[in-house]
């Protein structure tokens, strides 16, 4: 009976946003594991007492990046952590997109502006500004060239708080064809989902956003699968991945581009894909 912890966040007085978590815990227990959900920052947790710790929904980590990074490193020395600490460390900073682009993965073009660097923003097209460390569209906004001054103020605040900004052209194909999320588990495609545009014109960067608007089931194309597999192949130490979500959008040429590669705590969307639960359960048990 393997002991398995699913690491999540403490929602405080409100309900958890991870509605998949109790379903997955129950499925693992029904399959014979001693499984439980634990808050990643629980000071009473004995992480070394588990055969496997799966980072499942630590959805407050980007607000506490240094603390979370220390927990990942410490837990990775005590037991098997999925995904492994080196992968989580690499993926927690979205500058990984530059490495994947250099490896030949089709990505959304991205520039990085660190604190102290000038606000070098596009002048002739819509663009997006967001931090290299963030989740759920936190501190992300979409701008037209006429909103340059507002974008500069966002950069100033982000830099004052120590964030490096990433600047990308807004991909207008999102407004027509949406964004696709290809989920992999245990080294194989698990399922795929479609969602609408997250960043709507005029929404302030510090406003709450709906992270997955209009989510639907999706059948990935051969081109989407090819980009996803190329991205996963380029991940350092990627052979140890238990799970991954590959977020894709269409470029101006209509071909898929990597928007984000989520290897830390991707939402599994099991409520939308209940038929995937047995495969997720099997892969976790195998990893344990």
Where exactly does CATH 3.40.50.20 map onto the chain? Answer: 3-91
Domain with CATH 3.30.1490 in the chain: 111-169
Per-residue confidence at 198, pLDDT binned at 50, 70, 90?
confident
Q: Which residue spans of the chain are classified as CATH 3.30.470.20?
A: 96-106+177-269
- Rounded to the nearest integer, the mean pLDDT of the chain is 93
- Can you tell me the distance from the alpha carbon of 258 to that of 281, in angstroms, rounded to the nearest whole number? 28
Q: What is the mean pLDDT of residues 155-166?
A: 91
Spatial CA neighbour of 107 closest among 229, 231, 241:
231
Before 247, cis peptide (omega within 30)? no
Give the right CATH number for 96-106+177-269 from 3.30.420.40, 3.30.470.20, 2.60.40.10, 2.30.30.40.
3.30.470.20
Q: Which fold has domain 111-169?
A: Dna Ligase; domain 1 (3.30.1490)
pLDDT band at 137 (very low <50, low <70, confident <90, very high): low
The band of 124, judged by pLDDT with boundaries at 50, 70 and 90, is confident
CA-to-CA distance for 214 and 194, rounded, in angstroms?
A: 8
* pLDDT of 260 higher than 80: yes
Assigned CATH topology for domain 3-91? Rossmann fold (3.40.50)
Q: From CA 91, how far away is CA 110, in angstroms rounded?
A: 16
User: What's the pTM value of the predicted model, to 2 decimals?
Assistant: 0.93
């Amino acid at each position: 009976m393997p002991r398995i912890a699913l690491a999540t966040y403490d929602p405080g007085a409100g309900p958890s946003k991870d509605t998949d978590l109790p379903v997955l815990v129950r499925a693992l227990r029904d399959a014979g594991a001693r499984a439980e959900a634990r808050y990643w920052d629980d000071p009473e947790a004995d992480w070394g007492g588990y055969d496997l710790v799966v980072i499942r929904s630590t959805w407050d980590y980007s607000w506490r990046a240094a603390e979370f990074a220390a927990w990942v490193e410490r837990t990775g020395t005590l037991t098997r952590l999925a995904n492994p600490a080196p992968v989580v460390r690499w993926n927690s900073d979205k500058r990984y997109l530059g490495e994947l682009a250099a490896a030949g993965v089709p990505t959304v073009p991205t520039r990085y502006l660190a604190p102290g660097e000038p606000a070098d923003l596009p002048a002739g097209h819509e663009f997006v500004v967001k931090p290299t460390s963030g989740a759920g569209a936190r501190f992300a906004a979409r701008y037209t060239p006429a909103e340059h001054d507002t974008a500069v103020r966002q950069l100033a605040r982000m830099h004052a708080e120590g964030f490096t900004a990433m600047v990308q052209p807004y991909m207008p194909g999102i407004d027509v064809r949406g964004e696709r999320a290809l989920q992999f588990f245990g080294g194989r495609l698990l399922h795929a989902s479609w969602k609408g545009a997250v960043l709507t014109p005029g929404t302030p960067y510090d406003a709450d956003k709906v992270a997955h608007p209009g989510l639907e089931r999706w059948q990935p194309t051969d081109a989407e699968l090819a980009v996803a597999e190329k991205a996963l192949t380029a991940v350092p130490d990627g052979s140890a991945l238990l799970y991954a979500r590959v977020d894709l959008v269409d470029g101006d040429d209509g071909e898929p581009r990597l928007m984000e590669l989520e290897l830390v705590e991707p939402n599994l969307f099991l409520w939308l894909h209940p038929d995937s639960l047995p495969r997720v359960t099997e892969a976790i048990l195998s990893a344990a």
